[in-house]
Structure 1
Amino acid sequence: MAPSTAIVHLRHRLEVSAVGATVRPITVLDVGGTYLRWAAWSPEHGLGQVRSRPSPSRSRLPGAAVEDLQATLVDAMAEPVPPAGVAGVSFGAALDHRAGTVYASAPLWGASVRPFDLLGALRAARPDVRWHIVNDVTAALLHLADSPPARERRKILLATISTGIACRSIDQRTGDIPVDGCGLQGEIGHLPASVALDGVPVDLRCDCGHLGHVAAFSSGPGICRLAEVLRDREPERWNASPIGTRLASAETFEAALAAALDEGDPVATRLLDAAAGPVADVVRTALCLDPRIDLVAFTGGVATALGAHYRAAVLGHLERSGLYLTSQREPGWVRDRIMVCGPGQANGLVGAGLAAIAGEAA
């Protein structure tokens, strides 16, 4: 990645770079708060075997210093890349694409906001490798943007709902993914939010350390925290519900929630409705401010796993409290813009490869 180059007109650069000789396989990596995944990728042959290992994160290694977690992560990222290779990185954090600097990652490093020169650290660990780094949502958006559901849309907003929450938008007419003065866009997980259950406010702390952020309620860990509040407030109802009985039988939370929603469990439905509220608030505001957004797509472990249930929860909020006049006069206008990506439809590994090709051509 050219240190001083912002990600603008990226799709145009991809189209230019795609003309000509076969591209050698690129090592693509996707770094999330839970897992580090990697594979070989090329435009001609797609992804090779995807391998993974747990990310060295604050939750997995709670006693480790942030600097040690970062050093361990750099070593883990550098290891799979072959000698003199090219690597495309999809990184789940608030980072400046122009310089490869990570400002913060609550799932990985908690409340730390000390800038970390990830690109510099990777180059020092493996100077033989040409590194190209983008935010994980940017990578997923690049893959989605050229897919049939998105290709003819003017502007696309992609939000990831996973261990963390963030979004990115692209203007398909120009290929522009705008960033601000810090090289950031769409850090919606750390916008202020509020949730109430039966009219009683819920106070939850985000992984970044602050109270009342969108991610505190709506991320994967946030939904788990909301579930604990619901259980503590109504233990008998919770224990008798499908989600409660499944969790009591040692099912994972993710599997129990999905199965309970499939069964029509009102407790699980209420939980997801509460968690989706802050996300719907962001979508409502985005569509109100920019009606040129023709597609709002969701990806990430939570949204993809829950699929139609997640879309229904977000739309429920937008239908009960939607856009002034538009939701009443043209109810399909909002509904037709909301989709949840299927598995592999917005793949950060593929997007990391596309960004690496663009960076090599820059």
Structure 2
Amino acid sequence: MTTAITVFDVGGTHIRQAWWLRGGELRTRTSRPSPSFKRFPGATVAELQDMMVRDLCDTVPETPDAVVGISFGAALDHHSGIVYASAPLWGEHSEPYDLRAALASRRPDVRWHIVNDVTAALLHAAAASSRSGHRKVLLATISSGIACRVIDQRQGRIPVDGCGLQGEIGHLPAVAELAGAPVALDCDCGKTGHLAAYASGPGIARLARVLEQREPGRWAASRLGLLTADGLGFEAALRRALDERDELARELLDAATAPVAAVLRTALCLDPEIDEAVLTGGVVHGLGHHYRRALMGHLTRQGLYLTSERTPDWLERRITVTGPGEADSLAGAGIAACAGVPA
């Protein structure tokens, strides 16, 4: 195996790239926009896929025994590497796509290793010395999409089902409420009422538009409304409004985190061997301690039956919000490639 591995983290918004050294160091990081359906609304999915393949292949140096690790933001078969769907990249499209074959066809000189981006982030997070004694670790990413994975640290294994999948929670049915009334929103995959429709980055923005429509007076008078009216981007405006303790911004974040709390509550109830639930992703990093406050508020008000009463800090000790770099899909792609993880 070569000493340095080219690694990519392909998400719905950006493609990140770096060199990964077998000792764990990442060097020469770069970032560029992903060829997604939102960036190229007139392109077909086949055209978007071709753009992706060309982008990845053309940026891999032509060196002997080149090895590439890819963290890919999609639901994929971890047995075969076949990509089933990627709502942030390709919208409603769900025809299976052999990404590895397409890459190998264009660059047969490269050894390609592909893992789901959440799997990659989990591999990096689970490798931390502080988690070496854990039985199981759950990692959930809240970004342009939402998914989670659980690894059994005792076996070094991420179990998958017959389709090679695990933890596609972003497309589980979910409910949300704003201004005292239910909300029904469409997910990027085309279905209504999925977790990602409310709790992903785009989902929170959609919730904000609903809140503005339902309570225009409150919105206009709020810090969040004033900041966005002044031209500040929504994500930055939400963070600043939360920093300034804007009540409407807190209400919005509470609505977005409620369905995430419901999934975590259920996971920890069903599998008490999960010693830590790690939250990562652009939304979590962008909102920082505000995100954890909102999430833990739900879990404090409604925790686990009996366990939360008898051991009030049981959930508190198991929920971790990471900072940038602590669960890095780029590093995880390198770990997977170095270990020869097949998918």
Which residue pairs with 2:32 in the alignment?
A: 53
> Is 1:259 the counterpart of 2:236 in the alignment?
no
Structure 1 residues 212 and 360: CA distance shift in structure 2, 3 A: closer
Could you report, residue by residue, the CA deviation over 1:116-150 in whole angstroms, capped at 9, with x for unpaired residues?
A: 00010010011000000000001000110121442
Q: Which whole-Å CA distance do the structure 2 matches of 1:361 and 1:55 have between them?
A: 24
Q: Which whole-Å CA distance do the structure 2 matches of 1:153 and 1:296 have between them?
A: 11
Structure 1 residues 360 and 197: CA distance shift in structure 2, 3 A: closer
Instruction: Work out whether residues 298 and 304 of structure 1, in 8 Å CA contact, stay in contact via their aligned partners in 2.
Output: no
Which residue pairs with 2:216 in the alignment?
A: 235
Supply the AA of the counterpart residue of 2:265. R
Which residue pairs with 2:50 in the alignment?
A: 71
1:303-318 aligned within 5 A: 303-318=284-299
1:184-263 aligned within 5 A: 184-263=165-244
**1:319 positional shift:** 1.1
**1:43 positional shift:** 2.5
Supply the AA of the counterpart residue of 2:5. I
Secondary structure of residue in 1 paired with 2:293: helix
Which residue pairs with 1:177 in the alignment?
A: 158
> Is 1:341 the counterpart of 2:322 in the alignment?
yes
1:1-362 aligned within 5 A: 23-44=2-23, 46-83=25-62, 84=64, 85-359=66-340
For structure 2, the residue ranges without an aligned partner over 5 or more in a row are none
Secondary structure of residue in 1 paired with 2:157: coil
**1:307 positional shift:** 1.4
Q: Which whole-Å CA distance do the structure 2 matches of 1:293 and 1:79 have between them?
A: 41
TM value normalised by structure 2: 0.97
Bigger drift between 145-154 and 70-79 goes to 145-154
Q: Which whole-Å CA distance do the structure 2 matches of 1:244 and 1:228 have between them?
A: 10
Supply the AA of the counterpart residue of 1:315. M
Q: Which whole-Å CA distance do the structure 1 matches of 2:169 and 2:204 have between them?
A: 16
**1:27 positional shift:** 0.1
Instruction: Work out whether residues 140 and 280 of structure 2, in 8 Å CA contact, stay in contact via their aligned partners in 1.
Output: yes
Instruction: Work out whether residues 246 and 256 of structure 1, in 8 Å CA contact, stay in contact via their aligned partners in 2.
Output: yes
Structure 1 residues 45 and 320: CA distance shift in structure 2, 3 A: closer
Secondary structure of residue in 2 paired with 1:273: helix
Could you report, residue by residue, the CA deviation over 1:186-224 in whole angstroms, capped at 9, with x for unpaired residues?
A: 000000001112331101000000000000000000000
Q: Which whole-Å CA distance do the structure 2 matches of 1:269 and 1:39 have between them?
A: 36
**1:292 positional shift:** 0.6
Supply the AA of the counterpart residue of 1:116. Y
Bigger drift between 45-54 and 163-172 goes to 45-54
Bigger drift between 303-312 and 69-78 goes to 303-312
Supply the AA of the counterpart residue of 1:151. S
Supply the AA of the counterpart residue of 1:78. C
Q: Which whole-Å CA distance do the structure 1 matches of 2:104 and 2:24 have between them?
A: 27
Q: Which whole-Å CA distance do the structure 1 matches of 2:166 and 2:219 have between them?
A: 39
Could you report, residue by residue, the CA deviation over 1:274-324 in whole angstroms, capped at 9, with x for unpaired residues?
A: 000111110010011000101001110001111111111111111111111
Secondary structure of residue in 2 paired with 1:209: coil
Secondary structure of residue in 2 paired with 1:64: coil
Secondary structure of residue in 2 paired with 1:276: helix
Q: Which whole-Å CA distance do the structure 2 matches of 1:312 and 1:280 have between them?
A: 11
Instruction: Work out whether residues 294 and 337 of structure 1, in 8 Å CA contact, stay in contact via their aligned partners in 2.
Output: yes
Instruction: Work out whether residues 278 and 322 of structure 2, in 8 Å CA contact, stay in contact via their aligned partners in 1.
Output: yes
Could you report, residue by residue, the CA deviation over 1:149-181 in whole angstroms, capped at 9, with x for unpaired residues?
A: 422221100000000000001011111100110
TM value normalised by structure 1: 0.92
Instruction: Work out whether residues 99 and 119 of structure 1, in 8 Å CA contact, stay in contact via their aligned partners in 2.
Output: no
Q: Which whole-Å CA distance do the structure 2 matches of 1:361 and 1:285 have between them?
A: 30
Following TM superposition, the consecutive aligned residue runs of length 4 or more in structure 1 with deviations greater than 3 angstroms are none
Secondary structure of residue in 2 paired with 1:115: coil
Q: Which whole-Å CA distance do the structure 2 matches of 1:180 and 1:268 have between them?
A: 39
**1:360 positional shift:** 7.8
Structure 1 residues 108 and 361: CA distance shift in structure 2, 3 A: closer
Q: Which whole-Å CA distance do the structure 2 matches of 1:152 and 1:262 have between them?
A: 36
* Backbone CA RMSD of aligned residues: 1.4
Bigger drift between 214-223 and 98-107 goes to 98-107
Q: Which whole-Å CA distance do the structure 1 matches of 2:17 and 2:2 have between them?
A: 18
Q: Which whole-Å CA distance do the structure 2 matches of 1:45 and 1:170 have between them?
A: 20
Secondary structure of residue in 2 paired with 1:33: coil
